[in-house]
Amino acid sequence: MSEENSGNPPRPEMPAKPLIHVAAGMILRADGALLLAERPADKPWSGWWELPGGKIEPGETVLQALARELDEELGIQITQATPWVTHVHEYPKNIVSLAFCRVTGWNGTPTGREGQTLAWVDPHAPITVGKLLPATEPPLRWLRLPDRYLITSIGGQQELPGYLARLDTALQQGIRLVQFREPAWQQRDGEQAVAAALQEVLRRCREHGARCLVNSAHPRDWWDRADGVHLRAADARLPEVAARLRRAAEDSNATGADAAAGAQAAPDNHAGANAAAAGPNSWPDRLLGMSAHDAADLTLARELGADFAVLGHVLDTPSHPGEPGMGWERYAELAGGAGLPVLAIGGQSEATLDEARRHGAHGIAGIRGLLGY
């Protein structure tokens, strides 16, 4: 029904909020420490902490703007930086599109050239230097996500001992995120046989402080045994999946997990914008991953409050014979608009991690390449 004949009075036009494009640096030292800056007294939100950076000027690329800002603000010259996640946050008075970049190489020593206090912090520990700008909280959460994601492909009971030995090695070598995914085995031998393998994989992951998600091809009641779920794109569209995630979010809110996760009060003109813009964070005490193949899948991942998406396949891979990969250019285009961390999948291994990062990936996912085949 059109507004004219709906019987409702026409709504007054809302003035559009200004959209500000910003480049901000995740400046990471070799020991993993992250640089934060306190906004100085003469700027809006003074006293709040942020990632160094600033507005992108007309004609500048994100990396050019970042290089200029870090030189002006900190007196450092970037030698190594890659695009990461672009996060759009709506404040009551404006909308900021923050293009976060990983900065891992620079010349000079960061100095607060505009009077700002600087602090190197451990991004894996609670941030205690002060309040973070609301739009700066999601990237700090995302930074904690491991950058290598191993997906199982055990295949059957006979192969299990050999696989577990390889898994042990991968965990010893630093794998901290695993997805248990055995749809063919489950279909052939039944859930019981596969459930025992999940227990073995979970036990080993826990021994090494790694998290293990279960693929949504497996029974729903396994999700709670693991550290979260990895949704296939088709499963992410099922109403019962959305309902299940909503229930998990409600349970978690009821037990105050949000407060424990460090939600902060915002000043008046930031108030209320944070939770909505950071995504619903559907399952705060567990991880939610989703497989994506196109822009619509990535949008859905963001709407569901996924912690990350896996996008591919990028390069040709034995798991999709005869289906050419999307290639790095297309990957970069899609990942750049995703608004959440994206891992590249398809032909990935330690050897492709740098290339993946150059194209905006948070990291890589794989079956064989991350198991040392």
DSSP string, 106-122: EES----TTS--EEEE-
8 A C-beta contact, residue 216 and residue 276: no
Residue 51 binds to ligand 8GT (criterion: CB under 6 A): yes
Min separation Cβ 98 and ligand 8GT, Å: 6
- Closest to 140 measured CA to CA, from 260, 205, 50, 266: 50
For 122, the token pair is 């451990």
Select from 16-24, 195-203, 298-306, 309-317 the region that touches ligand 8GT (CB under 6 A): 16-24
Select from 53-61, 173-181, 236-244, 271-279 the region that touches ligand 8GT (CB under 6 A): 53-61
Q: What is the largest CA-CA distance in the chain?
A: 70
Residue 85 binds to ligand 8GT (criterion: CB under 6 A): no
Select from 39-47, 177-185, 320-328, 360-368 the region that touches ligand 8GT (CB under 6 A): 39-47
Min separation Cβ 80 and ligand 8GT, Å: 19
Min separation Cβ 171 and ligand 8GT, Å: 33
Residue among 59 and 321 whose Cβ is closer to ligand 8GT: 59
Distance in angstroms (rounded) separating the CA atoms of residues 234 and 294: 12
Residue among 277 and 344 whose Cβ is closer to ligand 8GT: 277
Residue 103 binds to ligand 8GT (criterion: CB under 6 A): no
Sign of CA dihedral 36, 41, 43, 44: positive
Listed in sequence order, the residues at least 6 apart from 4 whose beta carbon sits closer than 8 Å to its beta carbon are 10
In the region spanning residues 133 to 192, those forming contacts with ligand 8GT, defined by CB under 6 A, are 133, 135-136
* 34, 35, 85, 96: residue in contact with ligand 8GT (rule CB under 6 A): 96
Select from 42-50, 102-110, 194-202, 204-212 the region that touches ligand 8GT (CB under 6 A): 42-50
Distance in angstroms (rounded) separating the CA atoms of residues 139 and 84: 10
**Residue type, position 364, single letter:** I
The full 3-state SS of 170-181, as one line of letters, equals HHHCCCCEEEEC
Sites of contact with ligand 8GT (CB under 6 A): 20, 22, 24, 43-45, 50-51, 53-55, 89, 96, 98, 133, 135-136
